[in-house]
Amino acid sequence: MISRREVLGGLAAVGLTGALSGQSAPADSRIRLPKALTPGDKVAIVAPAGKASGQAHVTLAAAKVRSLGFEPAPSRNILARHGYFAGTDEQRASDMNDAIRDPSIRGIIALRGGYGAMRILDQLDYEALRRDPKVLIGFSDITAIHLAFVAEGVAAFHGPCAESSWSEYSRATLPVVTRNQPYGGCARVSGGDPLVELVPGRAEGVLTGGNLSMVTAMVGTRYSANLEGSVVVLEDIGEDSYRVDRMLTQLLLAGLNKAAAVVFGNFRPRARPGSELVDPSEFTIGQVWRDRAKAIGVPCFAGLPFGHVTANHILPLGIRARVDATACTLSILDPAVG
């Protein structure tokens, strides 16, 4: 396991990359920042997608939130079930809106991912959210809500869910949501995935993206990621190479070549029956990255620690960032909380 000293040392070593030539991309002036979380703040645990496995699941998640220094507040319908959802659309939207509207709630953390967040987007109270922005943390299917928050003018935070391991690395990235100052360079992980330059260059832009499947599914909706001029971060799990190829190609056709830069996280496979039988003629994920990155044609690197991995860095969507694809660094340039 990576030590806190290694994490902090990595932060200092990575630092901010050098100034770019030309004009930097401006921060999005529409974005409202939630207040920084402080010890003892009440944080709602909501299940806007997949269902909880039972009370023990929720109890463990609450203990993890408490270990971060916050007071967990499980939503009233968190144990509800409706097919593969954590309750009906109305129940899940109601829990999200309760957290959004309650002034005593300062943050919202998703219990888990799964599927279902897209189904409640049009039921969320974005007017109340803009009046009192809340820190929203989660990943995987929660990308849909992140993109909706940003589209409606509020920063959102791609990071561990309440049920996640909350590794020492992930905990060390909490200053993204607890300090009103630029976070700076994202730390490397000792013994983690290798960082790989795909297309050289440096660029700045507003962070967007998250789970590749969800970013792709949102194309054409009012909540679609704004790709043009942005730093687009993408990760996924258990997707075959051809599916990753197809989704990246769809995003390319939707304007990913107009992004400022693209950064890939981990795309680790998920065990399936017969998965040990690999056709050597098929493309690897790495080969797909290289092929599609070349077609996209903007600075790009792979291996950033975030998403479906233990070292899941909290990334503030809607906040300005800088990429140096040659050095394989991502730096967060502006405060993400007020």
Q: Pairing mode, if any, of strands 135-138 and 156-158?
A: parallel
How far apart are the C-alpha atoms of 222 and 225, rounded to whole Å?
9
215-16-299-262 Cα dihedral, nearest 10 degrees? -10
Give all strands of the β-sheet with 42-46 in edge-to-edge order: 71-74, 42-46, 105-110, 135-138, 156-158, 315-317
Q: Tokens in use for 333?
A: 């340039």
Distances (CA, A) of 242 to 247, 287, 297: 9, 11, 20
Alpha carbon distance 140, 115 (integer Å): 9
Catalytic residue among 140, 224, 230, 331: 140
58 φ/ψ angles, rounded to the nearest 5 degrees = -70, -40
Does the annotation count 163 as an active-site position? no
Spell out the SS3 assignment of 152-194. CCECEEECCCCCCCCCHHHHHCCHHHHCCCCCEECCCCCCCCC
Q: Backbone phi, then psi, for 102, in 5-degree steps?
A: -80, 115
Which helix (H) or strand (E) is 244 found in, with range? helix 241-253
Residue 224 is among the residues annotated as catalytic for this protein:
no
User: Rg for the chain (alpha carbons), in Å?
Assistant: 19
Is 140 marked active-site?
yes
b/e 165-174 (16+ beta carbons within 10 angstroms → b): ebbebbebbb
Q: What is d(CA 236, CA 143) in angstroms, rounded to the nearest whole number?
A: 11
Q: Which of 213, 308, 313, 331 is catalytic?
A: 308
Catalytic residue among 235, 239, 313, 331: 235
Residue 168 and residue 285 in contact, taking contact as beta carbons nearer than 8 Å: no
Catalogue the active-site residues: 140, 235, 308
